[in-house]
Structure 1
Amino acid sequence: MLRRLALTAVASVAALSAAPSAAGATGPLPLPLPLLQSPDRLTVDVSDTGNPRADGTYELRCGPAGGTHPQAERACARLEQLTAEGRDPFAPAPAPADQMCTQMYGGPATARVFGTWGGRQVDVTFDRTNGCGVSRWNDMEPVLPSARS
């Protein structure tokens, strides 16, 4: 499938480059924008939520939504919402010295999200070891599964 897509893209670019332009300019035409942009693709690896159906590794693609993530459309919509609000959904957790967190333990759940979002590489972890981690996790639902204790 990927090979066929690549061959189709190369053939399309070759055909467009060979076609005369309306303005009479010579040289190849620029590549269409979708070929230049990398898709948003993330791997979400979740463990110890207490829900065996939530634990596992999921692929999430956005634009259009797809992959093996059980709620791909809702997860992509949440990421787009956070981005539109000017928030970085994959910002690293603040250092403990930079914030005060309640000592509320939300359970042993952990998650790692890595891949590409908005044209940049991301690799971030989430946990529920204190109130800040619980809040951060809940803010990323449904990208991360519900792990409420």
Structure 2
Amino acid sequence: MCVRKTLAVIGGMVSIPLAAPSAAEATEPVGGYRLTVAPVQGAGRVASASLRCGPDGGSHPDPVRACDQLRRVNGNVARLPERPGRCTLEYAPVRVRAHGTWKGRPRDYARTYSNRCAAIRGTGGVLFKF
């Protein structure tokens, strides 16, 4: 009887590692985006950055904070809360875009703001700040 219990415990222990994610799954990012900020009118500088979440990285200057914001909204840029604060009233419209995936699902966000400051604040203050 003691042998049966021991074998049952050992059998259960053996199955635990089989349920763990593979090494490839463990290193695959939760999300990845190509971010752009482009002027709508006239000539101007188009800025872009890459962002990878889980592990956090890419060319974005603050990937940890940007990914933390995205994790809170399940990768849905449109759900990022606006960051309160002042912006100038200059009219220099920019188009922002976040194109990529989150947990294997395609994500695409694009919106035009009255100026770069409004775009940064309107998307949480971090994601398009590069």
In the superposition, the TM-score normalised over structure 2's length comes to: 0.57
Contact 2:95 2:112 in 1 (8 A): yes
Structure 2 gaps of 5+ residues are: 1-9, 80-88
**Relative to total residues, which structure has the larger strand share, 1 or 2?**
2
Q: 1:143 aligns with which of 121, 127, 130?
A: 127
Q: Secondary structure at the match of 1:66?
A: coil
1:75-134 Cα shifts (integer Å, max 9, x gaps):
112212334xxx93246xxxxxxxxxxxx885311111111123311122121149xxx4
Structure 1 gaps of 5+ residues are: 1-21, 92-103
Number of residue pairs matched by the alignment:
104
| Pairing 1:95-106 to 2, within 5 Å after superposition | none
Greater C-alpha Rg:
2
In the other structure, the counterpart of 1:124 is: 109
4+ residue stretches of structure 1 with deviation over 4 A?
134-137
Q: Secondary structure at the match of 1:67?
A: coil
Q: Secondary structure at the match of 2:77?
A: coil
- Once residues 107 and 117 of structure 1 are traced to their aligned partners in structure 2, the CA distance between those partners, rounded to angstroms, is 31
Question: Displacement, 1:34?
Answer: 5.8
| Pairing 1:8-47 to 2, within 5 Å after superposition | 23=11, 29=18, 32=21, 35-36=24-25, 38-39=28-29, 40-47=31-38
In the other structure, the counterpart of 2:53 is: 62
In the superposition, the TM-score normalised over structure 1's length comes to: 0.51
| Pairing 1:47-86 to 2, within 5 Å after superposition | 47-48=38-39, 55-83=46-74
Contact 2:95 2:111 in 1 (8 A): yes
**2:99 paired with 1:108:** no
Identity of aligned residues (%): 27
